[in-house]
Amino acid sequence: MQTFKLFTGLTGAVLLATNALSANGASAQEPVEISISCGAVGVELELCQEGADAWAEKTGNTVSLVSTPNSTTERLALYQQLLSAGAKDIDVFQIDIIWPGILGSHFIDLAPYSGGVEDKHFEAIVSTNTIDGELKAMPWFTDAGVLYYRKDLLEQYGHDVPETWAQLTDIARDIKEQERAAGNDGFWGFVFQGRAYEGLTTNALEWLDAYGAGTIVDADGEVTVNNPQAVEALTMVSGWVGDIAPEGVLNYAEEEARGVFQSGNAAFMRNWPYAWSLGNSEDSPIKGKIGVAALPKGGENGQHTGTLGGWNLAVSRYSEHPEEAADLAMYLSSQAEQRRRAIKGAYNPTINALYSDDEVLAANPFFGELHSTFVNAVARPSEVVGRSYNRVSNAFWNATHSVLSGAVGADEALEGLEGSLNRIKRGGW
DSSP designation for 193: -
Quick note: the x/- pattern for ligand GLC over 245-284, rule CB under 6 A, is: ---------------------------x------------
CB-based burial, 335-356: b 16+ in 10 Å, e otherwise:
bebbbbbbbebbbbbbbeebbe
Nearer to ligand GLC, 100 or 246 (CB): 100
- Distance, CA of 163 to CA of 167 (rounded, Å): 7
Q: Does 91 bind ligand GLC (CB under 6 A)?
A: no
The binding track of 349-368 with respect to ligand GLC, each residue x by CB under 6 A or -, is: --------------------
CB 126 within 8 A of CB 187: no
Q: Which is nearer to ligand GLC, 34 or 147 (CB)?
A: 147
What is the distance between the alpha carbons of residues 67 and 41, in angstroms, rounded to a whole number? 10
- Pick the binder of ligand GLC from 143, 232, 337, 418 (CB under 6 A): 143
Distance CA 377, CA 372 (A): 8
| DSSP letter (8 states) at residue 187 | -
Segment interacting with ligand GLC (CB under 6 A) among 92-100, 117-125, 146-154, 421-429:
92-100
Q: How far is the C-alpha of 324 from the C-alpha of 342, rounded, in Å?
A: 25
Which among 10-18, 195-203, 336-344, 356-364 is the span making contact with ligand GLC, rule CB under 6 A?
A: 195-203
- Residue 235 CB, nearest distance to ligand GLC (Å)? 24
**Could you tell me the smallest distance in angstroms from the CB atom of residue 198 to ligand GLC?**
4
**Distance from C-alpha of 152 to C-alpha of 88, rounded to nearest angstrom:** 51
Check residue 72 for interaction with ligand GLC (CB under 6 A).
yes
Dist. CA 198–CA 259, nearest whole Å = 19
Please report whether residue 96 would count as binding ligand GLC according to CB under 6 A. Answer: yes
Q: Which of 418, 44, 67 is nearest to 254 (CA)?
A: 44
* Count helices and strands in the chain by DSSP H and E runs: 20, 12
d(CA 220, CA 47): 39
Considering the complex, state which of residue 171 and residue 292 has its C-beta at the smaller distance from ligand GLC: 292
Answer for which of 202, 271, 319, 338 binds ligand GLC (CB under 6 A) is 202
- Taking the least distance from each CB to ligand GLC, the nearer of 298 and 310 is 310
Q: Is 198 in the site for ligand GLC (CB under 6 A)?
A: yes
Residue 97 near ligand GLC by CB under 6 A: yes
Residues that bind ligand GLC (CB under 6 A): 72, 96-98, 143, 198-199, 202, 272, 309-311
